[in-house]
Structure 1
């Protein structure tokens, strides 16, 4: 940790800059690295492309808007999809059902985590986590990406 003007500030792991935008990143599972905003966006974007988490987030909900909101559907096959934020603040479109892990390739296996507020049992969000470090058992249910089950996806 570097010292700047007599005040201890964290240092970016990649570019070694100091400042108020340098902090630990990741939602549920901290990524154990303090990064500045610029380096974080670069790392998160590369990870999102690698994992297929390139969906756009749902528009912000306006409580005063009374127009009908349709559920999200795939642009290619028009099937319903669920869109969730990832651990690294990018969005992924998932299927609306679970499959056994043995039927889903490793790069398309996701789980949903429900983090709770500090010192309470109240769930505050739903976050998609790609399964990658430890393989699930063959019969364990996982949520595939919609890209894997899309009927019109070109292989």
Structure 2
């Protein structure tokens, strides 16, 4: 068992390595009836899903899974149901079938708006 200080150092190092530096979503007020907008990436404007990890950090993932063959290993994540709710788990060294669905880290898909090709309306 690690003390709180050692745990935070370890978790912060892992967060830097895995890119789990997203800001957690605020807890909604149970009395608030306003619509809650889905979060969007500040760089590219795309919709993202922010999930807690198993080590108390937060990660921004794509909103839909992709086949494992289309996602580099270091960007592969899976959502796992726990008694406390869903958490994101990075798939390290897992041998996956090419068509198995994985959630890519949003960083893999992020193209800043100024670098994105202009869309014709």
Length-normalised TM-score, structure 2 = 0.87
More relative contact order in 1 or in 2 (CA 8 Å, sep 6+)?
2
Unaligned runs of 5+ in 1: 1-33, 117-123
In structure 1, what is the equivalent of residue 19 of structure 2? 52
Q: Whole-Å Cα distance in 1 between the matches of residues 97 and 13 of structure 2?
A: 28
In structure 2, what is the equivalent of residue 83 of structure 1? 50
Q: Whole-Å Cα distance in 1 between the matches of residues 22 and 75 of structure 2?
A: 14
Unaligned runs of 5+ in 2: 116-121
In structure 1, what is the equivalent of residue 88 of structure 2? 128
**How many positions carry a matched residue from both structures?**
114
In structure 2, what is the equivalent of residue 106 of structure 1? 73
More helix by share: 2
Aligned pairs (5 A) from 1:27-38: 34-38=1-5
In structure 1, what is the equivalent of residue 119 of structure 2? none
Which of the two has higher C-alpha Rg? Answer: 1
Q: Whole-Å Cα distance in 1 between the matches of residues 43 and 30 of structure 2?
A: 30
Q: Whole-Å Cα distance in 2 between the matches of residues 96 and 107 of structure 1?
A: 18
Length-normalised TM-score, structure 1 = 0.69
| Aligned-partner SS, 1:35 | coil
Shift of 1:110: 0.1
**Root-mean-square deviation over aligned CA pairs:** 1.6
Shift of 1:68: 3.1
Aligned pair 1:65/2:23, yes or no? Answer: no
